[in-house]
Structure 1
């Protein structure tokens, strides 16, 4: 079945923010296709006619100064306004619902502006990074939004190398193809939001995006090989999630995101010995003093002061996957007992890691002794959908991308979306 962009939009599904990226790769054996010199010298094809996606690059400034390193055209919402030569400086300022631009002795005001070239392979530099497509400048109250608008397939070129390890040979080949299909499906769903100024963030709130400098020739090749392929269920685009390492069992989406009882996201066992155990740091430990635990509870508004003693901490219940469902804290203060239960994925955002980041996973055991809470866990991420390191293992084991996606999204199909319709 061929899906059009418009039929895809009719069946859009709410996507949630995700958070994940990884840089470690490993060497393994595989019966998959072997990379060769031609693969690594593969030129990026930018002539695939995919719709544009808008990526938020910056939203932290009330004024913005951009120095151009190449000649570009300044476009308003209605028309092209001027050719700006390399070396010129553009000063922008939010002006209510409009944006104000100053270039030398010339001033312009519009709903938004674009900077780019007439060439469809336009490349523009912002904050020392090169991006394909256009820069779009618009106002959001008193802030300036800097948005990279570019074809979806080109966007994926700057995503895939940052969202999954490439590997040293061909060991990750089919895993990368499965990730390309998943990332494309996710992106298209985000592109159909209504009344928005951009589609996706450039970080783990959506997918990590690094522009041209992040691109690799081999992942450009993989993206072209899978161009237009998305996951569907009952002929509708599937809802896609992925994380680094599921810890041995993926999770039911309802247990993480709530009210999402999706047939193909019920959770699957990921091998008798977890496929994703090949990930560096698969097993991990965090230790906390009682004072630190109380500070977590205070910051989460679970208690209104830190004048408590922690009598006990225990796991009350687990999901079928083995992840913690309920983590209970038994506290006392002035002979008053208090119980606090933190549930599901909320545990990760309340109990932080030593470096301040969210807890890697809720696939863990605990030990509370001598006023020290020790958490011993497995995996990294919420665990819903595609397990990236599990996919890498399966790729090493000779599975192709279709088998990998079928394992993590059972009952789904891979279909082609026709960008030209």
Structure 2
């Protein structure tokens, strides 16, 4: 269903009225704050950790009036007074005081600095009530799917029920503040500070506005552990901080109403839970430090365990080669092997590389096994049966990035993540299948599967960038955090002067 110019005008007025609440990251007094997803659901429950510390301040839209509520709050989305929420972007212009479109504020990396870019978004007069209808129209007109965007409107009403069963009806977006720890839905962690509650595509989105340094501290315990050696934590702090800003410039969650999610898709964040004195010391001692290379912010992915050799970003993610992410030997002895070759990859997988000083999670990434039935694997691939498996390519770390499965027809799987998925969620794609195998005339390995496939592998994660197990090992050997960072991100430099602000 389509709506014409009148709807478009209402849409623009509504959006502009509440732009300050709908934008994500912001700069306050020269410091960067990120908007991080905490929960997305049709119902949001806020429960104070302590009943004696229960005051929650709620601001409706852009009104200065503060409603003070106490105790447990149950928030339900009950009505959506809107006629269109999806639009097609026509063009983007620089923002001026005379602009009549929609103000878009995004962060970009320019001239060695992070900069806030303001643009004027001009949308077509035609609007849509759902994404599918907008996509169908755009494709019929030869317009890219990327030009179809969700546009928030006012009029989304929520019902807030207090612990005393009092009911309040408010318009989103809401700004919420609590000085005291809150439990959100069924999270075991608590959060405090500034929050936003928005309606995005008929769902409530609850986010936290987090100071960058506090965000880094909230990530470290879940990515490398709260008891890691201090120098390893420092290296993790710099990589987390840098990766956060890189993700911010990607704008991958722009239409979702926040900057970063709180899962491994971005980085695992759970607030102040598990932050201890060592975690805070790692953040404070590396304050504002990020990595740059050749005048640009360095992409700093990391993973649990490389298996012996880190991987090349362009092989794992089918992207342009990056000079600091080409893959390096991580463990002594692997540098004499070519892990792209099946025989040498198997030789390294069979080698015992477990160090007694490793924790249990480190060991779990250094050597593992997995079984899956041929029938289950065929089902995962959409095949009736599997007669032959061919390994087409291994990456520099030995990870399989191209496989073919033959039944009545061929199914080819590209990418380490998809390969891990079809085998039932492997820790990495650096593995071999035990049993009958041979090299075909093209030099590729062919496996004739039995009823049960037995896999043996190394590594945990995609293998690109910093190996956290390796960082822990280097820290135990007395290396400092810059030794670790320069080892895993060769050619990078530390910068503390990286943000433009007014």
TM-score for both structures, normalised by structure 2: 0.64
- 1:63-120: CA deviation from partner (whole Å, max 9, x where unpaired): 434345521221233233223132263534264434424453543214x111115xxx
Residue 86 of structure 1 aligns with which residue? 70
Q: Is 2:263 the counterpart of 1:203?
A: yes
| Aligned positions of 1:356-375 closer than 5 A | 358-368=425-435, 370-375=450-455
Q: Is 2:58 the counterpart of 1:58?
A: no
- 1:276-296: CA deviation from partner (whole Å, max 9, x where unpaired): 864221111111221111111
Residue 401 of structure 1 aligns with which residue? 481
Q: Is 2:380 the counterpart of 1:296?
A: yes
Cα distance change of structure 1 residues 288 and 326 upon mapping to structure 2, 3 Å threshold: same
Cα distance change of structure 1 residues 155 and 346 upon mapping to structure 2, 3 Å threshold: closer
**Uncovered stretches (5+) of structure 2, i.e. residues with no partner:** 1-27, 81-152, 161-165, 335-352, 437-449
- 1:100-157: CA deviation from partner (whole Å, max 9, x where unpaired): 24453543214x111115xxx6654423532132221000121101111121111122
Is the partner of 2:236 in helix, strand or coil? helix
Cα distance change of structure 1 residues 343 and 75 upon mapping to structure 2, 3 Å threshold: same
CA drift of 1:219 comes to 0.1
Residue of structure 2 aligned with 1:271, choices 331, 334, 342: 331
Cα distance change of structure 1 residues 105 and 350 upon mapping to structure 2, 3 Å threshold: closer
| Aligned positions of 1:66-77 closer than 5 A | 66-68=46-48, 69=51, 70-77=54-61
Tell me how many residue pairs correspond in the alignment: 350
Would you say the 8 A contact 2:226–2:274 is kept in 1? Answer: no
Cα distance change of structure 1 residues 81 and 251 upon mapping to structure 2, 3 Å threshold: same
Would you say the 8 A contact 2:47–2:182 is kept in 1? Answer: no
Q: Is 2:176 the counterpart of 1:109?
A: no
When structure 1 is superposed on structure 2, of 209-218 and 136-145 the one drifting more is 209-218
Cα distance change of structure 1 residues 141 and 311 upon mapping to structure 2, 3 Å threshold: closer
Could you tell me how far apart the structure 2 residues matched to 1:67 and 1:198 are?
22
Could you tell me how far apart the structure 1 residues matched to 2:354 and 2:305 are?
6
Q: Is 2:373 the counterpart of 1:312?
A: no
| Aligned positions of 1:19-34 closer than 5 A | none
Residue of structure 2 aligned with 1:322, choices 372, 376, 398: 398
Could you tell me how far apart the structure 2 residues matched to 1:48 and 1:218 are?
27
Could you tell me how far apart the structure 2 residues matched to 1:215 and 1:175 are?
15
Could you tell me how far apart the structure 2 residues matched to 1:276 and 1:155 are?
33
| Aligned positions of 1:252-263 closer than 5 A | 252-263=312-323
Would you say the 8 A contact 1:161–1:219 is kept in 2? Answer: yes
Cα distance change of structure 1 residues 140 and 393 upon mapping to structure 2, 3 Å threshold: same
Residue 307 of structure 2 aligns with which residue? 247
| Aligned positions of 1:144-163 closer than 5 A | 144-163=204-223
CA drift of 1:273 comes to 4.6
TM-score for both structures, normalised by structure 1: 0.76
Cα distance change of structure 1 residues 210 and 95 upon mapping to structure 2, 3 Å threshold: same
Cα distance change of structure 1 residues 81 and 94 upon mapping to structure 2, 3 Å threshold: farther
Q: Is 2:423 the counterpart of 1:343?
A: no
Cα distance change of structure 1 residues 115 and 64 upon mapping to structure 2, 3 Å threshold: same
Q: Is 2:234 the counterpart of 1:177?
A: yes
Residue 132 of structure 1 aligns with which residue? 192
Q: CA RMSD in A?
A: 2.6
CA drift of 1:384 comes to 0.5
**Uncovered stretches (5+) of structure 1, i.e. residues with no partner:** 1-46
> Which structure has the larger Rg over C-alpha atoms?
2
CA drift of 1:396 comes to 0.8
Would you say the 8 A contact 1:73–1:80 is kept in 2? Answer: no
